[in-house]
């Protein structure tokens, strides 16, 4: 199974470590780092660390590609990103006491010709049987139903879409004519879409079941420190693993998506998907940037994941 990521709104993540974040105050940062990012890029980076070669499609600003060029030189990621005039956005991540405050910029306007070029490269890469992981916000210039259209195109081509989106892009995809193969919203994104709080895990499971009934084969809802719910035709599980020291929570959800994709590539069932997704996420939490430790460490974490039946949750 070939794996392709689609990142239409990548970012350079500028992570600033602070002792304590105080609104309105002057802060002296402990340290700062810059990583090539954006959800699909982070997924590609984690998959590459696990040993899965991946093709990265999408958009990149032509004026500041250095961090991305370095990532693609260091890891087995085939760069099929379409260059557009201007800069890739820089997103600010303020980390204090393990908590992250995100300031995400809108990103540059993407011209229609560039989007058409992305469609061409994606059509070449997404042969039948391919898993396409579309992740992150849509840039200005992109139609809000872009992912909904993509779900239909890929399904007609015999490729599968794993979608990690939020807001109107997620709503359009969930309510469009073709269901994505899999989705990974976080709990808040799912609650925003549903228009009601999902305070109990039973509420999350009920929404996931309803989405599965609409044709989404695999529904994963990440819930931060509470773990994640995994639901498919095989059943509904909650997977949890306590994290050690948190280096940065940025991209934990993307690492989980990478773990899900790695398990799908193995042809795994729901429990292995839940174990590997959780292990990737927790492994990433211990490191800054979209990076995993070596395979043995991730496998040991996967072994330690606690799996419970979602029906047993309050």
Ligand X SMILES: Nc1ncnc2c1ncn2[C@@H]1O[C@H](COP(=O)(O)OP(=O)(O)OP(=O)(O)O)[C@@H](O)[C@H]1O
Interface with ligand F1X (CB under 6 A):
9, 11, 13, 37-39, 42, 91, 102, 104, 136-137, 250-251, 253-254
Binding of ligand X at residue 103 (CB under 6 A)?
A: no
Both tokens of residue 148?
């909904």
Q: Would you tell me how many other CB atoms lie within 10 Å of the CB of residue 193?
A: 20
d(CA 271, CA 240): 12
- 254 noted as active-site residue: yes
Contact window for ligand X (CB under 6 A) among 7-15, 48-56, 74-82, 253-261: 253-261
Q: To the nearest whole angstrom, how small is the minimum distance from the Cβ of residue 223 to ligand X?
A: 5
Determine which one of 13, 79, 254, 304 is catalytic: 254
With CB under 6 A as the contact rule, the residue among 278, 288, 291, 298 that binds ligand X is 278
In the chain, DSSP finds a helix count (H) and a strand count (E) of 10, 14
Nearer to ligand F1X, 100 or 153 (CB): 100
Nearest to 210 by CA among 194, 189, 188: 194
For residue 31, what are the contacts with CB-CB under 8 A and spacing of at least 6? 16, 17
Q: How far separated are the first and last CA of the chain, in Å rounded?
A: 37
Nearer to ligand X, 117 or 203 (CB): 203
Of 52, 250, 258, 273, the one binding ligand X (CB under 6 A) is 250
- What are the CA-CA distances from residue 128 to residues 138, 153, 217, 260 (Å)? 25, 11, 18, 19
Coil, helix or strand for 167?
Answer: helix
- Adjacent-strand bridge partners of 241: none
Q: Which of 225, 235, 294, 306 binds ligand X (CB under 6 A)?
A: 225
User: Is 251 an interacting residue with respect to ligand X (CB under 6 A)?
Assistant: yes
Q: Which string of x and - marks every residue 167-206 that binds ligand X (by CB under 6 A)?
A: -------------------x--------------------
> Which residue, 82 or 243, has its beta carbon nearer to ligand X?
243
Q: Are 197 and 178 in contact (CB under 8 A)?
A: no
Q: Return the number of the residue (241 or 258) whose C-beta is nearest ligand F1X.
A: 258
Catalytic residue numbers? 254
């Amino acid at each position: 199974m070939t794996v392709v990521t689609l990142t239409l709104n990548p970012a350079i993540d500028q992570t600033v470590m602070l002792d304590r974040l105080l609104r309105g105050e002057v802060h002296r940062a402990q340290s700062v780092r810059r990583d090539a990012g954006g959800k699909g890029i982070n997924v590609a980076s984690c998959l590459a660390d696990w040993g899965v070669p991946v093709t990265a499609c999408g958009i990149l600003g032509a004026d500041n590609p250095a961090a991305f060029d370095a990532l693609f030189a260091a890891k087995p990621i085939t760069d099929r990103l379409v260059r557009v005039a201007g800069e890739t956005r820089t997103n600010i991540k303020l980390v204090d006491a393990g908590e992250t405050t995100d300031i995400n910029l809108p990103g540059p306007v993407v011209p229609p010709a560039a989007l058409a070029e992305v469609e061409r490269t994606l059509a070449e890469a997404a042969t039948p049987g391919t898993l396409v992981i579309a992740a992150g916000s849509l840039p200005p210039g992109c139609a809000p139903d872009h992912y909904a259209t993509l779900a239909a195109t890929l399904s007609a081509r015999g490729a599968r879409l794993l979608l990690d989106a939020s807001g109107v892009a997620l709503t359009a995809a969930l309510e469009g004519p073709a269901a994505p193969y899999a989705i990974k919203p976080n709990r808040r994104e799912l609650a925003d879409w549903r228009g009601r709080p999902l305070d109990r895990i039973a509420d999350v499971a009920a929404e996931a079941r309803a989405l599965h009934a609409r044709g989404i084969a695999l529904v994963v809802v990440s819930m931060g420190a509470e773990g994640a719910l995994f639901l498919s035709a095989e059943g509904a599980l909650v997977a949890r693993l306590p994290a050690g020291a948190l280096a940065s929570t940025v991209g934990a959800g993307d690492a989980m998506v990478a773990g899900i994709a790695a398990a799908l590539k193995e042809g795994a069932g729901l429990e292995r998907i839940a174990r590997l997704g959780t292990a990737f996420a927790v492994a990433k939490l211990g490191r800054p940037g979209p990076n995993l430790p070596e395979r043995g460490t991730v496998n040991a974490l996967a072994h330690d994941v606690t799996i419970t039946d979602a029906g047993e949750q309050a």
